[in-house]
């Protein structure tokens, strides 16, 4: 697992600016005013800060951006970063500034002279989110030095230290998700995935692993049909965090965990198939949320369930035209074996409702390419049967700067799922592909159960850097779901 940056909080000290090594950061306002630490850095560097503030380049800088001066004369540090922020920034402004710092952070460490500035925990979160790299399978250079810490010099270090505990729990949940999504499929098998989740019992989570005989007994035949062509055994992992009231119904999170997706007999084109290691992204997000809740000791009851399978072509694989029976009892004609995620989710969703009687149900999946056509890589698709429940999530996503856009549902789309020989087909054709996938899942949601389906195919892993992450896995959804739980499900 990626090791998160170490953070320390120290009393604010102007004297430490000259001696700090690695990377030093101070603050200036968008209108060019220097705070106390910036003025000290300016004097030590013989006016380097002021010269930049008076240059044409500063006029083009936006709040949250960072200007870095390499090897500044007068300082022991190898770099001086000037962070442009208003005196009382909004949370996302501070987080974006932190992400900019995390992107340029020196390996030897970073000293941030905050003074009495607010929102510095959000700045630290931004640093932690962006100062990430997945190098588990790379040979490190012989001369590579250990990663240095981030030291925040603040006038109220004890208060900041307490606030950091929460935001770094969030950052660790995101990093855990990214690590899972970035892992190659020969490493993150269904068995290894389940083992990593079982390891979170050390954090206080209750974890159960249901193997194939138990899944067969429960009647999860749509899920089992997806993995029957693979040598890797299918599993369902149940993670429980019981931090709320004894009798309070939990929120249920369900994740699609296809550790590799060839498409099965309906095999995908070879080009780009290597990216299908990320098809367990929904399960990765659920795991990251559960880790965050445990680390920050959330006062809520939440259960996370993930269906772990591998979709492979073989002599035992499910064929197009096969009919399988779900745990609910409905039969499904499998038209396309590459529409496998909904077959995994429908059984796990039904099991979650039958066993836990949740207060609400949210499923996450890298489900359709169609959602990428519709929304690109900026927003996840949000489908829901409950306006208030949906708005609670969308509000949380906006607060955490995670793109999400509500999509429609409607009975008219059900016509596209009609089967001649079974209760339904697993696909409805190319038109409205994301919507018909959601309509399929909606058939496995009980009456009066608030439900959200999140299609994260476009946001789980991306091919270029984002504000908060390098290219690859993003961890999208961990922060929004954590915020939704914090705002709506935690005991006072």
pLDDT at residue 200 greater than cutoff 50 = yes
Domains 7-155 and 172-488 share a fold: no
Residue tagged 């950061």 (tokens): 25
pLDDT in tens, 436-457: 999 999 999 999 999 999 999 9
How many other CB atoms are found less than 10 A from the CB of residue 476?
A: 33
The number of helices, as runs of H, and strands, as runs of E, in the chain is: 15, 19
Reading the block at residue 180, the tokens are 């899972």
The fraction of the chain above a pLDDT of 90, given in percent, is 94
Q: How far is CA 266 from CA 101, 261, 319, 337, 471, in A?
A: 45, 11, 8, 5, 29
Alpha carbons 248 and 245: distance in angstroms, whole number: 5
SS3 state at 426: coil
7-155 CATH choice from 3.40.50.1370, 3.40.220.10, 3.40.50.300, 3.30.450.40 = 3.40.220.10
The residues assigned a catalytic role are: 268, 342
pLDDT in tens, 236-294: 999 999 999 999 999 999 999 999 999 999 999 999 999 999 999 999 999 999 999 99
CATH 3.20.20.70 fits 172-488, yes or no: no
Reading the block at residue 440, the tokens are 């399929």
Reading the block at residue 437, the tokens are 């996938």
Alpha carbons 130 and 316: distance in angstroms, whole number: 43
pLDDT in tens, 16-65: 999 999 999 999 999 999 999 999 999 999 999 999 999 998 989 999 99
Secondary-structure percent of the chain, ordered helix, strand, coil, rounded to 5: 40, 20, 40
Residue tagged 């009382």 (tokens): 88
Model pLDDT, residue 147: 78
Q: Which residues contact 193 (CB under 8 A, 6 or more apart)?
A: 180, 235, 237, 257, 259, 280, 283, 306, 308
Average model confidence (pLDDT) across the chain: 96
- pLDDT-derived band of residue 1, with 50, 70 and 90 as boundaries? very low
CA torsion 445-415-311-284 (nearest 10°) is -40
Reading the block at residue 120, the tokens are 């510095």
* 323-325: strand order across its sheet: 323-325, 331-333, 424-425
Mean pLDDT of 379-404: 98
Alpha carbons 175 and 300: distance in angstroms, whole number: 22
Alpha carbons 93 and 62: distance in angstroms, whole number: 10
Q: How far is CA 342 from CA 88, 158, 161, 222, in A?
A: 46, 48, 43, 9
Contact 125, 256 (CB under 8 A): no
Question: What string of DSSP letters covers 237-252?
Answer: EEEEEE-S-TTPPPEE
SS3 state at 309: strand
Domain boundaries, the chain: 7-155, 172-488
- Burial pattern 315-334, b for ≥16 Cβ within 10 A else e, equals eebbeeeeebbbbbebbbbb
Query: Apex CA 57: angle with CA 53 and CA 59, to 5°?
Result: 70
0.95 surpassed by pTM = yes
pLDDT at residue 3 greater than cutoff 90 = no
């Amino acid at each position: 697992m990626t090791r998160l940056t170490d953070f320390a909080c120290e009393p604010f000290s102007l004297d430490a600016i000259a001696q700090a090594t690695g990377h030093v950061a101070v603050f200036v306002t968008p209108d060019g005013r220097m705070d106390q630490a910036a003025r000290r850095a300016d004097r030590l560097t013989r006016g380097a800060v002021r010269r930049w503030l008076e240059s044409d380049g500063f006029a083009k800088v936006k709040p949250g951006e960072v200007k870095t001066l390499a090897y500044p004369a007068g300082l022991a540090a190898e770099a001086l970063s000037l962070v442009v922020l208003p005196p009382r920034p909004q949370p996302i402004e501070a987080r974006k500034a932190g992400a900019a710092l995390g992107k340029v952070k020196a390996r030897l460490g970073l000293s941030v002279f905050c003074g009495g500035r607010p929102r510095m925990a959000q700045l630290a979160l931004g640093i932690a989110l962006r100062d990430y790299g997945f190098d588990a399978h790379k040979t490190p250079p012989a001369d590579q030095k250990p990663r240095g810490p981030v030291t925040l010099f603040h006038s109220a270090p004890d208060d900041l230290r307490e606030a950091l505990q929460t935001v770094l729990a969030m950052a660790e949940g995101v990093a855990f998700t990214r690590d899972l999504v970035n892992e190659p499929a020969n490493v993150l098998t269904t068995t290894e995935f389940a083992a990593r989740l079982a390891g979170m019992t050390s954090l206080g989570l209750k974890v159960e692993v249901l193997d194939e005989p138990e899944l067969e007994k429960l009647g999860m035949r749509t899920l089992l049909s997806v993995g029957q062509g693979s040598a890797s055994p299918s599993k369902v992992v149940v993670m429980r965090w019981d931090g709320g009231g004894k009798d309070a119904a939990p929120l249920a999170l369900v994740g699609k965990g296809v550790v590799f997706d060839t498409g099965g007999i309906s095999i995908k084109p070879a080009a780009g198939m290597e990216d299908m290691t990320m098809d367990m992204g929904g399960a990765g997000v659920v795991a990251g949320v559960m880790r965050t809740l445990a680390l920050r000791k959330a006062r809520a009851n939440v259960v996370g369930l993930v269906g772990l399978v591998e979709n492979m072509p073989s002599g035992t694989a499910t064929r197009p035209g096969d009919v399988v029976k779900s745990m609910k009892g409905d039969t499904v004609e499998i038209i396309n074996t590459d529409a496998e995620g909904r077959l995994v989710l429908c059984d796990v969703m039904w099991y979650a409702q039958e066993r836990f009687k949740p207060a609400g149900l949210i499923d996450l999946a890298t489900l359709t390419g169609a959602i990428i056509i519709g929304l690109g890589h900026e927003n996840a698709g949000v489908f829901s049967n409950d306006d208030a429940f949906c708005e609670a999530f969308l509000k949380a996503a906006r607060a955490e700067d995670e793109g999400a856009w509500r999509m429609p549902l409607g009975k008219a789309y059900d016509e596209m799922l009609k089967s001649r020989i079974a209760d339904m087909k697993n696909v409805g054709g190319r038109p409205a592909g994301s919507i018909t996938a959601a309509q399929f899942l909606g058939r496995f949601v009980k009456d009066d159960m608030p439900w959200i389906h999140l299609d994260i195919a476009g946001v789980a892993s991306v091919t270029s850097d984002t504000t908060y992450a390098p290219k690859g896995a993003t961890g999208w959804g961990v922060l929004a779901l954590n915020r939704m739980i914090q705002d709506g499900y935690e005991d006072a």
